[in-house]
Amino acid sequence: MNELKDKTGLILIDKNDNIVLQLRDNNLKIKYPNCVGTFGGAIEQGESPEQAIIREIKEELDYNLKNFEFIGNFPFEGYNIFMFLKRDSNLESSKLKINEGQRVVLINLNNPQLKNYTFAFNTKKIVEHYLSNI
């Protein structure tokens, strides 16, 4: 039996009620190139999921993640994705420094229009889960 690989992801909400997501690189060597996904990544040996998401968000967005919450596990295609949530009423998403992926994708909570995007992994399910619980 194959063991699931632990990964992390973040639903980050900015001051304008946008979910801040990543347009993944257009590189055929990665899974789901040119698709929308959450920021986050692998949990390294000896790291907790919380430590991993803090490190990944610092690396990918140069954002100091604090006061966030765990919202659930979302297994998918051999991965166990630990999802976290952060609402930041001071965050201006245009000021984030994108170090991984092509750019930020903003999905407004008031008019999500999920059908307009091609999602990576189970990101659409995760976003729908979040939207159904707010």
| DSSP type of residue 116 | G
Residue 55 and residue 99 in contact, taking contact as beta carbons nearer than 8 Å: no
User: Is residue 125 pLDDT above 60, yes or no?
Assistant: yes
User: Is residue 1 pLDDT above 70, yes or no?
Assistant: no
pLDDT tens figures, 41-83? 999 999 999 999 999 999 999 999 999 999 999 999 999 999 9
Model confidence at 2, pLDDT cuts 50, 70, 90, reads: low
Identity of the amino acid at 58: K
Arithmetic mean of pLDDT, 27-52 = 96
Number of domains in the chain: 1
Cα 75 to Cα 71, 82, 88, 124, 125, distances in angstroms: 13, 9, 26, 13, 11
User: Is residue 90 pLDDT above 70, yes or no?
Assistant: yes
> What integer pLDDT is reported at residue 134 of this predicted model?
84
Domain ranges, residue 27: 5-132
User: Is residue 19 pLDDT above 70, yes or no?
Assistant: yes
Do β-strands 5-13 and 79-87 pair in parallel, antiparallel, or remain unpaired? parallel
Do β-strands 5-13 and 69-76 pair in parallel, antiparallel, or remain unpaired? unpaired
Q: What is the CATH number of the domain that holds 68?
A: 3.90.79.10
